[in-house]
Amino acid sequence: MAIQLAKGQRVDLTKTNPGLTKAVIGLGWDTNKYSGGHDFDLDASAFLVDANDNCVNDLDFVFYNNLEHPSGGVIHTGDNRTGEGEGDDEQIIVDFSKVPANIEKIGITVTIHDAEARSQNFGQVSNAFVRVVDEANQNELLRFDLGEDFSIETAVVVCELYRHGAEWKFNAIGSGFSGGLASLCRNYGLQV
């Protein structure tokens, strides 16, 4: 049975799941039906940051145009442009054994592509969730449902995976940003 988390909760990943080396971070969402004239294209991304909460270079930003970190430690499985259907809409695979030692945290985010031009925001998104699955046996370890407390935000830091000594932990964040992907990139120390 997966652990259900609330915003702000932190939980051990590798300590309470011995042998966990590869985790699938599944992200999903639905969009509220409205006649805005444009489809929604939500995009998951991962920011690999150092002790200063900054990406060292552009390659530490894994997203639809850079699907794999050079270490092989973080892999984006590809862009889903519609979000149709049940289950995960996008997935990011984290191999903890390959994440470089200088990476302290992996920020998992979701943004709305062209949100400003399409007059879209997370107030129009529902049933958003993140779940962590053990890749070896496909067991869902934990789940965090984001809730409906967004309005004008166009980007969300969904969760963070972070080092705690030799172990990895999960932090349920659910923090919204206005300014979309550019705002998130600046937050993680990247030039836009």
Residue 25 is part of a domain; what is its CATH number?
2.60.60.30
pLDDT digits (tens, 9 = 90+) for 67-99: 999 999 999 998 665 545 567 899 999 999 999
Length of the chain: 192
pTM for the model:
0.92
For residue 60, the enclosing domain spans 7-188
- DSSP secondary structure letters along 120-172: --GGGEEEEEEEEEETTT--EEEEEE--S--SS-SEEEEEEEEEETTEEEEEE
Q: What is the rounded average pLDDT for all residues in the chain?
A: 90
Judge whether 146 lies within some domain. Answer: yes
1 falls within a domain: no
Is residue 2 domain-resident? Answer: no
Structural domains of the chain, count: 1
